[in-house]
Amino acid sequence: MPLDMNHGSGVVYGRGDAPPGDAAETTARVNALVDAALVARNRRQRPRDYLGGSRVGEPCARKLVYEVAHAPKDPGRDFDGGILRVFDAGHQFEALSTRWLREAGFDLRDRGADGGQFGFSAASGRLRGHADGVIVAGPDVGLRWPALWEHKALGQRSWSDLVKRGLRLSKPIYFAQVQLYMAYLQLEVTFFTALNRDTLALYHEAVPFDAAEAQRLSDQAVGILRAVEVGELPPRIAQAADFYLCRLCPYATRCWEAPA
């Protein structure tokens, strides 16, 4: 039955009898514009001129050398709009978790006294890291404060694996990141938070400092920087190009065409 929403106006609204229009075409056109803007913004960003502490745990040393040396990626392997939207969303989820923890009584600082992000610089500035924050005080949850705070937003499958196996086994790159950060920031524990992007469930894990692991990672970082400096390529991580990490690598073609 048609409805006259403004009595006497003569404007009548039908119930579902109007054509919806080509929503699929509209969606595709708008998303193409959004993704193009994100890709353009990403390309305008200045490439890192250092090895990031969050990358030192990458299992393939050769891949890290390519990254630090700014080697061109294989055609079609740059970040697309979909991935860049995920990255952007991660920052918003981090802001939400920060607010929730503060409201719960945690004194979470994401800036130092100088107003800059917590971080470190080593190897003449060629190795750097920027932490999500430091919790300097808070409720009794079984941790000693202060603690490094690191946050990740994960999809359901990745988040569930983290809950099941813990950070060290499930996310070795993240585990390496917090070990290196704790070493340089002189903190004894990390309060690691993971937010499930699909359900907004939160997982928290206390990760103690492992001095031996941090030293190994620091030595590994120095080795990567030396290789970049002298133009050497470390050994490949695998014996064949169909290894699963190689299939996912944006430098796979370049790597397997280069001398062993």
C-beta neighbour count of 244 within 10 angstroms? 8
The position carrying tokens 């920031």 is 185
69 token code pair: 């040396």
Domain ranges of the chain: 59-257
Tell me what pLDDT residue 173 has: 97
Q: How far apart are CA 39 and CA 98, in angstroms?
A: 27
Alpha carbon distance 246, 238 (integer Å): 8
Helices (H), 119-251: 156-165, 167-170, 172-185, 211-230, 244-248
Quick one: DSSP state of residue 40? H
**In the structure encoding, which two tokens stand for residue 44, read together?**
């305008």
pLDDT > 80? residue 5:
no
Fold of 59-257: Lambda Exonuclease; Chain A (3.90.320)
CB 110 within 8 A of CB 98: yes
- Cα gap 187→80, rounded to integer Å: 36
3-state secondary structure of 134: strand
CA distance 185 to 142: 21
| Per-residue pLDDT tens digits for 204-230 | 999 999 999 999 999 999 999 999 999
pLDDT band at 248 (very low <50, low <70, confident <90, very high): very high
Q: Which residue has the tokens 């790159």?
A: 173
pTM of the model: 0.85
* Residue 121: pLDDT over 60: yes
Residue 34 confidence (pLDDT) above 60: yes
Which H or E run contains 65?
A: helix 61-68
% pLDDT > 90, the chain? 72
Give the Å distances, CA to CA, from 22 to 19, 25, 27, 30, 36. 9, 5, 9, 13, 22
